[in-house]
Amino acid sequence: MTRIRPFRPGDEPALADICLKTADAGADGTGVLDDDELWAEIFVLPYVVRHPELAFVVETDDERVVGYIVGAPETAAFEEWFRTEWWPRHATRWPHPEAETSRQDGIVRYAYGRRGGAEPYGDAYPAHLHIDLLPEAQGRGIGRLLIATLADALRAQGVTGLHLVTSADNAGAIAFYPRVGFAPLPSHDGAQAFGMSLV
């Protein structure tokens, strides 16, 4: 049995591990990059720092965290905070690559390129999310419940729309999101975006 509960301090290592174990288009990303810790520092940990009230975890009866959803209510503001406050803390550890010679270089360059207004979805769908479940928690309706939980929290803040972007290689995710109320949006090469109205 599992339950969904709000994020609490101390969950960060479990979230970082889940992020890593699902990072490679839904598969285990361990060893894909030179530094496994990079995934979480971009895709989950900044969210629980900036918006812990929009972070929820899936916990088993034995108190293991096996999934999460995190979100930002206003993407442009979050991305500007990421650019000016969060990512500069990591500049020494992950300097800006002059060229993209590895997958890690590409992800680090992505992190340096994040900024408010960079994505075209923010006007109609101002919030965005990241969701990840370990295989043991998949296929049981938990992802649907996590999205509903976050959507309710965003509505309570008066947010009118929600979007996400997944890898074009993540066939499971691309099949899943339309089933829980998201519509495909025009997307960049290599990615697929989805949007959901919250009104």
Q: Looking at residue 190, what is its pLDDT?
A: 87
Residue 29 CB: number of other CB atoms within 10 A? 18
Give the residue-averaged pLDDT of 31-57. Answer: 98
Give the residue-averaged pLDDT of 42-46. Answer: 98
Residue 55 near residue 70 (C-beta atoms within 8 A): yes
Q: Give all domains of the chain, ordered by start, each with its CATH number.
A: 2-197 (3.40.630.30)
Q: Looking at residue 121, what is its pLDDT?
A: 85
Looking at residue 79, its amino acid is E
Q: Looking at residue 178, what is its pLDDT?
A: 96
- DSSP notation for the chain: -EEEEE--TT-HHHHHHHHHHTTBTTB--TTTSS-TTHHHHHHTHHHHHH-GGGEEEEEETT--EEEEEEEES-HHHHHHHIIIIIGGGGTTTSPPPSS--SHHHHHHHHHHH--TT-STTTTTS-EEEEEEE-GGGTTSSHHHHHHHHHHHHHHHTT--EEEEEEETT-HHHHHHHHHTT-EEE---TTEEEEEEE--
Q: What is the per-residue pLDDT across 148-195, written as a single tens digit (0 to 9) for each?
A: 999 999 999 999 999 999 988 888 899 999 999 999 998 888 899 999
- Mean pLDDT, the chain, rounded, equals 95
Q: What is the per-residue pLDDT across 89-114, written as a single tens digit (0 to 9) for each?
A: 998 999 999 999 999 999 999 999 99
